[in-house]
Amino acid sequence: MATMSRSGYGSDDEDSTPAMRRLRRLSLHLLQPSDRPAPEGANALAPAACAGKRRAGGLDVDAAALTAYLRGRHLATQERLYRFFVERPELHTPVELPMAAHRELCFRQMTALVREAGVRPLSLMADDPDEYFAVMEAVGGLDISLAVKFGVQYSLWGGSIINLGTKKHREKYFDKIDNLDYPGCFAMTELHHGSNVQALQTTATFDSVTDEFIIDTPNNGAIKWWIGNSALHGKFATVFARLILPLQGKGGEPADMGIHAFIVPIRDLETHAVLPGIEINDCGHKIGLNGVDNGALRFRSVRIPRDNLLNRFGDVARDGKYTSSLPTINKRFAATLGELVGGRVSLAYSSVGILKVAVTIAVRYALLRQQFGPPKQPEISVLDYQSHQHKLMPMLASAYASHFARQYLVDKYSEMKKTNDEDISADVHVLSSGLKSYITSYTAKSISICRESCGGHGYAAVNRFGGLRNDHDIFQTFEGDNTVLLQQVAGDLLKQYQQKFKGGTLSVTWNYLRDSMSTYLSQPNPVTARWEGEDHLRDPKFQLDAFRYRTSRLLHSVAARLQKHMKTLGGFGAWNRCLNHLLTLAESHVEAVILARFIEAVKSCPDAKTREVLKLVCDLYALDRIWKDIGTYRNVDYVAPNKAKAIHKLVDYLSYQVRLVARELVDAFDLPDEVIRAPIGMQSEAYAQYTQCVGF
């Protein structure tokens, strides 16, 4: 074979061979053929115009209208907070900061937010959860450590008072938590137990003589671990412990009433000294989130007043008698954890914000960066390479899809808080579990892909991917391990599936199982399985039906497998044998929920041009997901080979179409440079700002 020149293309003499002419033409094959300028000759392949400029065929995107639709009524609040921090450079988090300095800065940032910017987070969480989560996203743009510390103070410590306490607790603690006079923490996790909250070992034993509870750490495994705000700043902790009533069990044994929450002062309000009987140690330097002071707590016969029991779901009278409106330990436990879903909602919400930052940096850099190109012509933008579009454009579409899904979650959460409806509460519990798990896992993977897509410059700390990855990584673990949460989704789907065949009612989120189970479990139509027209593939009904068909097939098959294995392995063994199947089922269902909300958001958009571009992005999200799991659809003949090929081609084409408006799509997130902060992700003069960072 002829030797290639250093440029990668053959010499003029080598172009005379048919093989080299074809190779040269293929090397120019960077863009969709239908979008190229007309070729000069019958067999010519012409390159597209140089990178970074809008090409003919792209949609007309009004970024301002798209921003208004995305951010809605929270636009003004978020912009006010952005301006507040922009005008306070001493509150900006540097790239390199020792752990101790980062923690103190984080606390100063939160104090400034509350006492200078005038935000009342706990009041917002109680009265307007939607606005509260928007504030959390804005502060997370300054520093993810700040968002997490903010969430510990208000979603967890404050949320426990609101959701698990009663009037007397709100009257005593609410205002002082809100104005930060009472910094606190949320002491649930122990060294030996995290996800299995029912197995916590810390005890709270009632002493009827003194009318107090005695909080004890019975062994090292029961040390409260990873407790945010506790190592330095917390003055109180909501401690989850087993409520023990002496002499009230069988035969005069102590009665274990299950897990309850107690308010435990841990530091003196005046001197800030650690109180007697309490030992606090620092969990030390972490992979990320080093602005959050995580600690470990041991309690040795710490006495608290009986009134410090958060008694919404269970109470102890002066004489030691226990009362509850819920008849069993399991029901009380479920009600307690059900009221703590706000933490999962906030993580799903914040994770979408982090995904937007990462995608914005990667897309802007891909538009800016130029590498290679046709001989004797300008280099082209790396986003003009099909491989780069394949990495980033479906991710951009997923950021939009996740945005609308999280808004649906917050709307449902707000409805739950207003109505206290049990069915809505159950729905929100499972929905928050699924979306928190799915979105945080997707964001974690996406940050690494964004780093890789930015090459060597993505490895610079100043360009943020390392910090974003490390700070966000734990989102997959706290407030419920993602694998455990997906099992809760799968378990609820199986419960709903069983009720379907018993004639029971189904919750709103799962109602497609009720409406169309028979359709989804029937054999695929051999005619529609072969339809490959673009109008059909871009029809929301086809897309949503495909997602729901997959979920229903997975649900039906795993139910049959569980029933089979239970005969020999028992319930636990059967569940473990089918665990990967169950996790796939849960993820499939969550994707169907996300797509349904995206389709609804497209339909509800009042501006025609904005609706058109959202439809394009939604189509890419849906078809890319179908293509990524095309084997499942092929295995059951839901999609014939010709249709699978058409879907693949259309995903490539839609990725290219989204690329044409990628700048406008990321600009519509409306993230100020002070939030992006990565020089390569700036809206203008990125290289100039980058060189300044290293001293030029």
Catalytic residues: 479
**How many angstroms from the chain centroid is the CA of residue 129?**
17
- DSSP conformation class of 1: -
Tokens 């982090």 label which residue? 354
d(CA 264, CA 152): 16
DSSP one-letter string for 677-693: --GGG-SS-HHHHHHHH
Phi, psi of 22, deg, nearest 5: -70, -40
- DSSP conformation class of 146: H
Q: How many CB atoms lie within 10 A of CB 628?
A: 11
Q: Which residues have C-beta within 8 Å of that of residue 472, sequence separation ≥ 6?
A: 144, 288, 351, 354, 440, 443, 444, 447
Contact 154, 121 (CB under 8 A): yes
Strands 255-265, 236-245: pairing kind:
antiparallel
Instruction: Report which secondary-structure segment, H or E, holds 216.
Output: strand 212-216
533 annotated to a ligand binding site = no
Instruction: Report which secondary-structure segment, H or E, holds 625.
Output: helix 608-628
Coil, helix or strand at residue 411 = helix
Nearest by Cα to 383 from 447, 442, 450, 445: 450
Instruction: Report which secondary-structure segment, H or E, holds 186.
Output: strand 184-187
Strands 203-207, 212-216: pairing kind:
antiparallel
The strand ranges marked E within 278-418 are 278-282, 295-299, 302-305, 315-316, 322-323
Length of the chain in residues, anyone? 696
Tokens 């995608």 label which residue? 359
Is residue 310 exposed (0-12), middle (13-18) or buried (19+ Cβ within 10 Å)?
Answer: buried
d(CA 165, CA 277): 25
The strand ranges marked E within 230-327 are 236-245, 255-265, 278-282, 295-299, 302-305, 315-316, 322-323
**How many angstroms from the chain centroid is the CA of residue 19?**
50
Tokens of 27: 């090397």
CA 635, 641, 645, 646 torsion-angle sign:
negative
Nearest by Cα to 30 from 18, 12, 9, 45: 45
228 annotated to a ligand binding site = yes
Q: How many CB atoms lie within 10 A of CB 81?
A: 20
Instruction: Provide the β-strand partners of residue 381.
Output: 370
Alpha-carbon radius of gyration of the chain? 28
Distances (CA, A) of 175 to 22, 37, 169, 172: 74, 66, 11, 8
Nearest by Cα to 367 from 637, 123, 50: 50
Distances (CA, A) of 598 to 175, 424, 641: 38, 21, 28
**How many angstroms from the chain centroid is the CA of residue 655?**
23
Tokens of 396: 């951009």
Contact 177, 217 (CB under 8 A): no
Binding residues for FAD: 189, 228
- Feature table: binding site: 189, 228
